[in-house]
Amino acid sequence: MGASIPDPSISRHAMRTVPAHMHSLHQKDSSVLSLAGDYDHLFSGSQGQDIFVWDRRTFQLKTTLEGHTGPVLALEVCRQKKWLFSSSGDSTVRVWSTSTLAPLYVIVPHGGTDAGDIFSLTFSPCLSTLFFGCQNTSLQWLDLSHPEQLPISLPERRPPSKRDRFFESGARSGTRTPSYYADRQTSLNLHVLTHATEPRVLHVPAENVIASAHYGYIYSMALLPSPHLTASDPTREDGAVELLTGSGDEDVKLWLCTQEGGPVLQHTFHAGEGGGVLSLVARSGTVYAGCQAGFVKVWDLETRTLVRTIIAQENVDVLSLSMVDSDLYGCSANGMVQRWSASFECTASWKAHDGIVLSSIIACDPDDVSCASAEAYSACEPSVLHKLALVTGANDSTIKLWSVERPLCPPESEPSAATGSQEDTLLYALEKFVAIPSLSGCAERREDCRQAAIWLKKCLSQLGAETQLLPTSVGGEDEEGGNPLVLATFRGTGGEKQRPRVLFYGHYDVIDAPAQRGWDSDPFTLSGRDGYLYGRGVTDNKGPILACATAASDLLARRKLDLDLVMLVEGEEEVGSPGFCDAVRRHKDQIGHVDAVLVSNSYWIGECTPCITYGLRGVVHATVEISSQRADVHSGVDGGAVSEPMIEMIKLLSTLTSGQKVLLPGFYDTVRPITSRELEQFELLSKMTGEPVARLCARWREPSLSVHGLQVSGPGNATVIPARVKATVSLRVVPDQDTDTIARSLVEHLQLNFRALQTSNQLSVTIERKADWWLGDLDSDWFLALESAIKDEWGVTPLRIREGGSIPPIPFLEKEFGCNALQLPLGQSTDQAHLANERISLNNLRRGKSVFERFFTRVAQFESKAT
């Protein structure tokens, strides 16, 4: 059985219009691999060998630029110098005049044809330097500040360039593009041109090469400050530029380039599960990388941190990216174009082409009054241009122009996470998360649990975390795997010092929710009523998980996450976390060191006053079975003649308690006595809740024994004596009782008293699972920081409470990582966890997210215990 899994994208569609289609241009029988534009022209690179030149006002084909002998893979215009750069599969870069359309230079890379296809190029007007990336993984450059002074040489004869698997395969989309070469194409020499003027042939010297700059083809490039139309980045005081290169090796590399020397590697960003980096754009200190897996990775250049992962079209290559101020346009291999705002909302999505969208640019509109001539356009600041067009080219041989507008808000006033964006993301993501019926207690929902883990992994990745799934198993690695753990790490933006690391524990599995048993709405559809959100898992524990994640994402987006947040979310908490501990121990190195454990899986004592939980009882769950060697018998035939397991079970269970007192030997010997400080706290809680101190103590800090049920063999009617009777028993343990000692004592006590019955029946006692008690350190800096964060958000000092239930992973994680654990309740006492109409207060969810942010900001100043 499998539910319909919601789309993983959390880039919510906002109400913005789709750009109007202005015009279409048809490039005869050839895919549009590249685009560039100036005031008068649009230039399109063909899959054959020519560059098509289109008049910007009449949209008529003006001419074609001939000279390349392979596909024209990249184009770029330098409006200051009035140059057009083109690179090709023929292993050359050519420079053309955009005024006369005459060829100026042919640039031969170092290594000649061994460099292979030249997939990407960019030109820095600041440095007057051309950079380009080659199929042989080299990064090469040439200073063109005085090209007339560079040495020249006669062109060499070269064969047609080889075909490239990437473009010929239709960019992995399943649609094959036509061959690069038309039938008429033959092996041409560099000097065979249609223009009367011979271009100068320039060679890249050996010292202008970084061999193996990547471990894959260099598919994309971007510069800061950007030389392109909508640049908003200031020029550096030192005159240097930052070059970004993206490769099929799944890396983006940042290079510092100066007039004095070539690129110097500064940092490597890893796209990871995004796959090869096919497109790049950089603006305002942020780099956007379009990847093969359909993701757009977003990094902050100053702090070198991953800010967000956008899912554009899953498993569909993002082949081109363009920007208008803070609006990002992404073009995919399925013909779709999408637009995202600065807050990562998807504000438009439309089918632009019937084929693969291979290229895009932002171009000015010639009718823009702010640049009434080509000269004015070349001199004007891009920010004054108002009429703009998104130009897209595809393998359907079509170029399309779309009218685009500047964002309504400039980047600095774009709605931030703090003012609503992340809150919208939180609720939108929660709606999708709740829709997945991740019932760990139902075998038929096992695949839904796995899909919930996959969905959550993608969600946390989009929010800016590095994510992976960790396998679980019960009884060793060879056993059948359980529901996977989701491990996500939000890496902070701190400086050189070792950042503190907080581990947040949660669980994505939920308890069953039969819709016909008291629910007023579908339990797996998020419903809002009277200030509450209803749905299975909203409070236990999907809502708190996403509140924590969006808090970290919000801080990360504002460059204020100065710690590492590690989220460890399991899928079997509701069935006792059977494989959790072993999985954590196996993958401890991947989790890394931890300075504090944070949990949000509990509730306030009331409805109005926020609380902080500092204690939980431990538990021992046991199964007791008494059985005979015979079958079930009739009480009218054999009653009085046989030893009845049911009667013996009743006698045996009666030896465990007297009233509320547990009769196990030495059971109370190590129970920690109540302190005066604790008694004062209980008295305060008693006044606020009206509940007697003795009852609060009995619920939270005193041990107990409970019998949960009896099961019998046979039909269970009034005349049958069952041959087997099974009872389920639990003990709640408190500080400083030893859980293992209590479990052994229970087994020994039952065995001793069963022998006293002198019966022929057999006894079996099985300890099903155990969990230690937990008591937080009220005087630790971590506890006080969390308490202070709650107080600052709510304006009142939170109540310090304990709980009678057990959360086994808390004491385990605290001991395993040797650090403090903390409990932040977001739910109210009436949230109905595990019951019908489970809910969470919308106010609590929002303010709980804010508490997480405040806490992370405070503890970022703490010293990490890592060496």
On whether residue 696 sits in a domain, the answer given is no
Residue 802 binned pLDDT confidence (cut-offs 50, 70, 90): very high
Tell which of 410, 435, 455 closes a domain: 410
Report how far residue 816's alpha carbon sits from residue 720's, in angstroms, rounded to the nearest whole number: 50
pLDDT for the residue numbered 867:
55
On whether both 653 and 742 belong to a single domain, the answer is: yes
pLDDT for the residue numbered 464:
94
Q: Tell me how far CA of residue 664 lies from CA of 695, 707, 747, in angstroms.
A: 22, 15, 10
On whether both 454 and 581 belong to a single domain, the answer is: yes
pLDDT for the residue numbered 643:
87
Report how far residue 836's alpha carbon sits from residue 832's, in angstroms, rounded to the nearest whole number: 7
Q: Tell me how far CA of residue 841 lies from CA of 512, 798, 856, in angstroms.
A: 21, 17, 23
Q: Which of 778, 784, 786 is nearest to 548 (CA)?
A: 786
Residue 196 binned pLDDT confidence (cut-offs 50, 70, 90): low
More confident residue, 410 or 308: 308
Identify whether 573 is a catalytic site residue.
Answer: yes
Ramachandran region, residue 174 (left: φ > 0; alpha: ψ -120 to 50; beta: rest): left
| CATH number of 399's domain | 2.130.10.10
Q: Which of 338-342, 361-365, 534-538, 641-645 has the highest mean pLDDT?
A: 534-538
pLDDT for the residue numbered 1:
54
On whether both 270 and 226 belong to a single domain, the answer is: yes
On whether residue 435 sits in a domain, the answer given is yes
On whether both 454 and 596 belong to a single domain, the answer is: yes
Q: What is the mean pLDDT of residues 462-491?
A: 84
Query: What DSSP line would sit under 575-586, residue for residue?
Result: GT-TTHHHHHHH
Residue 54 CB partners (closer than 8 Å, separation 6+): 25, 41, 42, 43, 44, 60, 61, 62, 399
Report how far residue 851's alpha carbon sits from residue 828's, in angstroms, rounded to the nearest whole number: 16
On whether residue 346 sits in a domain, the answer given is yes
Tokens 């900001």 belong to residue: 857
Residue range 356-375, pLDDT digits in tens: 999 999 998 655 544 545 55
More confident residue, 476 or 740: 740
More confident residue, 140 or 48: 140
Tell which of 377, 410, 443 closes a domain: 410
Q: Of the given ranges (157-166, 202-211, 344-353, 495-504), which has the lowest mean pLDDT?
A: 157-166
| CATH number of 655's domain | 3.30.70.360
On whether both 553 and 663 belong to a single domain, the answer is: no
Catalytic residue among 573, 648, 793, 853: 573
CB atoms within 10 A of CB 266: 13
Report how far residue 411's alpha carbon sits from residue 415's, in angstroms, rounded to the nearest whole number: 9
pLDDT for the residue numbered 153:
63
Quick check: 743 and 770 in contact, CB under 8 A? yes
Q: What is the mean pLDDT of residues 781-788?
A: 98
Residue 15 binned pLDDT confidence (cut-offs 50, 70, 90): low
Identify whether 325 is a catalytic site residue.
Answer: no
On whether both 832 and 707 belong to a single domain, the answer is: no
Report how far residue 740's alpha carbon sits from residue 303's, in angstroms, rounded to the nearest whole number: 48
Residue range 689-716, pLDDT digits in tens: 889 999 999 999 999 999 999 999 988 7
On whether both 440 and 507 belong to a single domain, the answer is: yes
Q: Which of 554, 545, 681, 676 is nearest to 611 (CA)?
A: 681
Residue range 400-432, pLDDT digits in tens: 999 998 886 544 333 333 333 455 789 999 999
pLDDT for the residue numbered 853:
98
Quick check: 197 pLDDT over 80? Answer: no
Quick check: 779 pLDDT over 90? Answer: yes
The percent of residues in the chain predicted with pLDDT above 70, rounded, is 87
Residue 165 CB partners (closer than 8 Å, separation 6+): none
Paired tokens of 728: 């389920």
On whether residue 867 sits in a domain, the answer given is no
Q: Quote the mean pLDDT of the chain.
A: 88
On whether residue 446 sits in a domain, the answer given is yes
pLDDT for the residue numbered 167:
44
pLDDT for the residue numbered 494:
63
Quick check: 832 pLDDT over 90? Answer: yes
Residue 649 binned pLDDT confidence (cut-offs 50, 70, 90): very high
Q: What is the mean pLDDT of residues 201-213?
A: 96
Strands (E), 550-640: 564-570, 596-599, 611-616, 618-627, 633-634
Number of structural domains in the chain:
3
Q: What is the DSSP letter of 827?
A: B
Residue 178 binned pLDDT confidence (cut-offs 50, 70, 90): very low
Query: What DSSP line would sit under 722-778, residue for residue?
Result: -SEEEEEEEEEE-TT--HHHHHHHHHHHHHHHHHTT--SSEEEEEEEEEE--EE--T
On whether both 632 and 755 belong to a single domain, the answer is: yes
Catalytic residue among 76, 90, 251, 509: 509
On whether both 266 and 173 belong to a single domain, the answer is: yes
Report how far residue 822's alpha carbon sits from residue 270's, in angstroms, rounded to the nearest whole number: 33
Residue range 562-594, pLDDT digits in tens: 999 999 999 999 998 999 999 999 999 999 999
Report how far residue 67's alpha carbon sits from residue 158's, in angstroms, rounded to the nearest whole number: 13
On whether both 497 and 382 belong to a single domain, the answer is: no
Tokens 């236990």 belong to residue: 540
| CATH number of 830's domain | 3.40.630.10
Cα within 13 Å of Cα(600), Cβ side? 30
Q: 0.75 exceeded by the pTM?
A: yes
On whether residue 796 sits in a domain, the answer given is no
Quick check: 617 and 827 in contact, CB under 8 A? no
Report how far residue 133's alpha carbon sits from residue 116's, in angstroms, rounded to the nearest whole number: 10
Q: What is the mean pLDDT of residues 311-337?
A: 95
Tokens 């913005």 belong to residue: 16
Quick check: 337 and 329 in contact, CB under 8 A? yes
Quick check: 723 pLDDT over 50? Answer: yes
Angle between helices 676-689 and 693-700 (to 10 degrees): 110
* CA quadruple 525, 526, 527, 531: dihedral, nearest 10: 170
On whether residue 690 sits in a domain, the answer given is no
Residue type (1 letter), 339 = R
Residue type (1 letter), 563 = L
On whether both 550 and 429 belong to a single domain, the answer is: yes
Quick check: 34 and 24 in contact, CB under 8 A? no
On whether residue 199 sits in a domain, the answer given is yes
Tell which of 384, 410, 436 closes a domain: 410
More confident residue, 643 or 290: 290
Helix (H) or strand (E) holding 543: helix 542-557
* CA quadruple 802, 804, 808, 810: dihedral, nearest 10: 0
- What residues make up the domain containing 639? 618-668+703-771
Q: What is the mean pLDDT of residues 631-637?
A: 83
On whether both 383 and 442 belong to a single domain, the answer is: no
